[in-house]
Amino acid sequence: MSWIAALLASIGRAVLNALAALGRISIYSGQTIGHMARPPIYLKEIGSALLSVGYFSLPVVGLTAFFTGGALALQIYSGGARFNAEAVVPQIVAIGMVRELGPVLVGLMIAARVTSSIAAEIATMKVTEQIDALVTLSTHPMKYLTVPRVLAGLVMVPLLVGLGDIIGVFGGYIVGIKSLGFNSATYLHNTVNFIEARDIVSSLTKGAAFGFIATVMGCYYGMNTTRGAAGVGKATKGAVEAAAVLILAANFILTSIMFSI
Amino acid sequence: MIELSDVHKAFGPKKVLRGVNLKIEGGTSMVVIGGSGTGKSVLLKSVLGLIRPDSGTITLDGENVLTAERDAFLARFGMLFQGGALFDSLPVWQNVAFRLLRGSLKRPKAEAREIAIEKLRRVGLTPDVADLFPAELSGGMQKRVGLARAIAAEPEIIFFDEPTTGLDPIMSGVINDLIREIVVEMGATAMTITHDMTSVRAIADNVAMLHDGVIQWTGPVAEMDASGDPYLDQFIHGRAEGPIEAVR
C-alpha cells in the first residue's frame, strides 16, 4: 500500500507544481498587460523587438509554410485519389493552411526561434546581473524587456501567420499546377472562392494568441532563471517546451470556440 | 546616512543575514569585508531594495528604503557591479549614458553622449572606446566603463560590488585609486564590498567585517590592524588557523 501512497503523492505534487506554475505565469501575463497600458513606453526597444520577432522570422516561416503547403497538396491528391476526390486539392490546401497549419506551424516556429532567443537573452542578462543593473538605473525590467517583446509578438505573429497562409497556399498551388496537372486559373478560383472571412479572422486571432504565448514564455522563463550556464539552458528549454505545449492547447481551445459559433 | 537595524535574510534553510546592524555616515567610504558566501552582496542588494529582507529595517536619511518612492530613491544611487553588468546590446557610450537617455534624468542624445565621453575620460578611457560594444573590451576596461556608468548621473551614494575581482594587481590598483579619487571629488557616500585587503586600505574610511550573518567588527580603517578582534585579525592576515573555519 505504501508504494501506492507514494505514487499518488508524487502525482499530486506534480499536479500542484504544474498548477502553481500556471498561476505564476498567469500573474506574470497580467502584470505584462498592466505595464503595457502605463508609461513609460520604450519605442526604440519596441522597434527592435518588432524587427527581431517579425522581419527576421520571415525566412524560416516562409520556407516552412511553402514546403508544408506543397506536401499537403501531394498528400491530399494521393489520399483523395482513393475515392476519386483529387479535385478538392485547392480547397483542402487552402482551408488546411489558413485554419490550422498556418497558425500552428508559425506559432511553433516562433516558439523555436523567438521564445528560445528571448529566454536565453534575458536569462543571460539575469545571471550576469544586467537585470539588477537595470533596476539600479531606475528602469523597470518588465517595461524595458518584457513589454516590447510581448507587443512585438502580438503585432507581428498575426502578420507572419497571414503571410505564412499565403505562402503555404502558394506552395500547394505550385505543386498543383507543376506536378499534379491542375489548371492555374481553376486552382486559384477554387482556392479564393472556398476561403471565408471567418477562416482568416480565426487564423489571425490564433496568430495573436500564439505570439503572446511565445513571447511571454520566453520572458517569464528568462526572468526566473537560476544561476549559471546550466540555469540559462534550463530556462531556454523550459520556455520552448511550455510555449509549444501552450500553443497547441490554445489552438485546440480557440478552434473549439471559433467553429462552434 | 544609511542605517541597517537587525536585518535578517534567509534563502530557504540557509540564514545569510542574522541581525545586521550598521551605520554609514553621509560622505564617508564604508568597506564591508568578509569571506566568500558570507552575505556581503545580499547586504548591499538589500540596501538597494533588490532583495527584500525577512525582517529588520534599512533606512536612508531616516526613510525606509522599502517604502521610499522607487525612482527618486534609485536616482540617488550609482552602482558598480562585480562583473560590470554592462548591457551587451548597447555600445559603451549608451551604457554609460543609460540613465541620461531615458526616465526623469533624460537629456538630449548629443548631450548625453558628451557626458558619457567625459565620464569615460574621467576613468581613463579614450573617446574611441565610446562606440565599441562591451564584448570588445578587456575585463579592466569593462570595470572602468561600469564605474563611468555608476558616476554618470553624479549620484550621492555609490556602491561598489567586488570592484577588483578578476583584475591583475596593477589594474586593481588603478581601479582602487579611481574609486578613491571619484568618491572624494564627488563628496559621495560609498559602500564597497570586497575581500581584497589592498582595496580596503586604498578605499575605506571605515571598515565593517561581516561574519556568520552579523557585523563582527566595525571601526575606522586606521584601527583595523590593532582591533584585537580574532576574526578580523585572521581575515586581514589571511591565516588558515583561527576562529573562522577555512572550509565553509
pLDDT in tens, A214-227: 999 999 999 999 88
* Residue B209's pLDDT band (cuts 50, 70, 90): very high
Q: In the predicted model, is pLDDT for residue A1 greater than 70? A: no
B12: which 3 cell numbers? 530557504
Q: How many structural domains does chain B have?
A: 2
SS (H, E, C) A16-39: HHHHHHHHHHHHHHHHHHHHHCCC
Q: What is the pLDDT of residue A133?
A: 94
B87 touching chain A per CB within 8 A: yes
- Cβ <8 Å between B74 and A130: no
Burial degree of B72 (CB within 10 A; 0-12, 13-18, 19+): exposed
Beta strand ranges found along chain B (DSSP E): 2-11, 14-24, 29-33, 55-60, 63-64, 77-80, 157-161, 189-194, 206-211, 214-220
User: Is residue B82 one of the residues assigned to a domain?
Assistant: no
Q: Do residue B124 and residue B184 come from a single domain?
A: no
Q: How many beta-carbon pairs below 8 A join chains A and B?
A: 47
* Residue B106's pLDDT band (cuts 50, 70, 90): confident
Q: What is the pLDDT of residue B158?
A: 93
- Cβ <8 Å between B70 and A138: yes
Lowest mean pLDDT among A37-51, B148-162, B230-244: B230-244
Torsion of CA B123, B44, B58, B158, to 10 degrees: 0
- Sign of the four-CA dihedral A73, A76, A82, A87: negative
SS (H, E, C) A123-168: HHHHHCCHHHHHHHCCCCHHHHHHHHHHHHHHHHHHHHHHHHHHHH
User: Is residue B81 one of the residues assigned to a domain?
Assistant: no
Q: Do residue B177 and residue B71 come from a single domain?
A: yes
A137 touching chain B per CB within 8 A: yes
ipTM of the complex: 0.86
User: Is residue B116 one of the residues assigned to a domain?
Assistant: yes
B160 touching chain A per CB within 8 A: no
- One-letter amino acid of B232: L
Q: What is the pLDDT of residue B69?
A: 87
Question: Helices then strands (H, E): number in chain B?
Answer: 8, 10
Residue matched to cell numbers 533606512: B59
| Contact by Cβ (8 Å): B144, B178 | yes
- Cβ <8 Å between B74 and A135: yes
Q: Do residue B63 and residue B167 come from a single domain?
A: yes
| Contact by Cβ (8 Å): B172, B183 | no
| Alpha carbons A132 and B42: distance in angstroms, whole number | 12
Mean pLDDT computed over A1-28: 91
Q: What is the longest distance spanned by two Cα atoms in chain B?
A: 58
A256 touching chain B per CB within 8 A: no
Q: In the predicted model, is pLDDT for residue A261 greater than 80? A: no
Helices marked H in A37-57: 43-53
- Return mean pLDDT, chain A: 93
* Residue B246's pLDDT band (cuts 50, 70, 90): low
- State pTM to two decimals: 0.87
Q: Do residue B101 and residue B176 come from a single domain?
A: no
Q: Do residue B140 and residue B168 come from a single domain?
A: no
Q: In the predicted model, is pLDDT for residue B79 greater than 70? A: yes
- The minimal CB distance from A138 to the residues B45, B83, B99 is found for B99
Q: Which residue among B151, B173, B192 closes a domain?
A: B151
- Cβ <8 Å between A138 and B75: yes
- pLDDT more than 70, % of chain B: 99
* Residue A83's pLDDT band (cuts 50, 70, 90): confident
CATH number of the domain enclosing B194: 3.40.50.300
Which residue has better confidence, B27 or A220? A220
| Contact by Cβ (8 Å): B163, B84 | no
| Alpha carbons B225 and A217: distance in angstroms, whole number | 53
Q: What is the DSSP letter of B190?
A: E
B15 touching chain A per CB within 8 A: no
| Alpha carbons A191 and B10: distance in angstroms, whole number | 64
Q: Which residue among B100, B133, B151 closes a domain?
A: B151
Q: Do residue B107 and residue B159 come from a single domain?
A: no
Q: Which residue among B151, B177, B201 closes a domain?
A: B151
* Residue A110's pLDDT band (cuts 50, 70, 90): very high
Between helices A147-178 and A2-36, what is the axis angle to 10°? 100
Mean pLDDT computed over A89-118: 94
Torsion of CA A226, A231, A237, A242, to 10 degrees: 0
Q: Do residue B56 and residue B166 come from a single domain?
A: yes
Residues composing chain B: 248
- pLDDT more than 90, % of chain A: 85
* Residue A200's pLDDT band (cuts 50, 70, 90): very high
Residues of B in contact with A138 (CB under 8 A): 70-71, 74-75, 99, 103-105
Residue B218 phi, psi dihedral angles, 5° rounding: -145, 145
Q: Do residue B63 and residue B116 come from a single domain?
A: no
- Cβ <8 Å between A138 and B81: no
| Contact by Cβ (8 Å): A204, A106 | no
Give the three-state DSSP class for B35.
Answer: coil
Q: What is the pLDDT of residue B7?
A: 95
User: Is residue B145 one of the residues assigned to a domain?
Assistant: yes
To the nearest whole Å, the CA of A141 is away from the closest chain B CA by 12
Q: In the predicted model, is pLDDT for residue B201 greater than 60? A: yes
User: Is residue B54 one of the residues assigned to a domain?
Assistant: yes
| Contact by Cβ (8 Å): A163, A61 | yes
Q: Do residue B159 and residue B138 come from a single domain?
A: no
Q: What is the pLDDT of residue B217?
A: 92
| Contact by Cβ (8 Å): A54, A106 | no
User: Is residue B167 one of the residues assigned to a domain?
Assistant: yes
Q: What is the DSSP letter of A113?
A: I
Cα angle value A215/A217/A221 (rounded, 5°): 125
- Cβ <8 Å between A137 and B83: no
B170: which 3 cell numbers? 596593477
Q: In the predicted model, is pLDDT for residue B247 greater than 60? A: no
Q: Do residue B138 and residue B177 come from a single domain?
A: no
Q: Do residue B160 and residue B202 come from a single domain?
A: yes
User: Is residue B12 one of the residues assigned to a domain?
Assistant: yes
Torsion of CA B84, B90, B93, B99, to 10 degrees: -80
Give the three-state DSSP class for A170.
Answer: helix
To the nearest whole Å, the CA of B145 is away from the closest chain A CA by 13
Mean pLDDT computed over A66-88: 89
| Contact by Cβ (8 Å): A229, A177 | no
Residue B139's CB is within 10 A of a number of other CB atoms, namely 14
B68 CB-near residues (< 8 Å, 6+ apart): B60
Q: What is the pLDDT of residue A258?
A: 85
The alpha-carbon radius of gyration of chain A (Å, integer) is: 21
Residue B198 phi, psi dihedral angles, 5° rounding: -65, -40
**Structural domain of residue B14, as residue ranges?**
1-76+155-248
A222 CB-near residues (< 8 Å, 6+ apart): A118, A119, A120, A121, A122, A123, A125, A126, A235, A239
Give the three-state DSSP class for A209.
Answer: helix
- Cβ <8 Å between A133 and B48: no
Burial degree of A183 (CB within 10 A; 0-12, 13-18, 19+): exposed
* Residue B134's pLDDT band (cuts 50, 70, 90): very high
Q: Do residue B167 and residue B193 come from a single domain?
A: yes
| Alpha carbons B83 and B161: distance in angstroms, whole number | 9
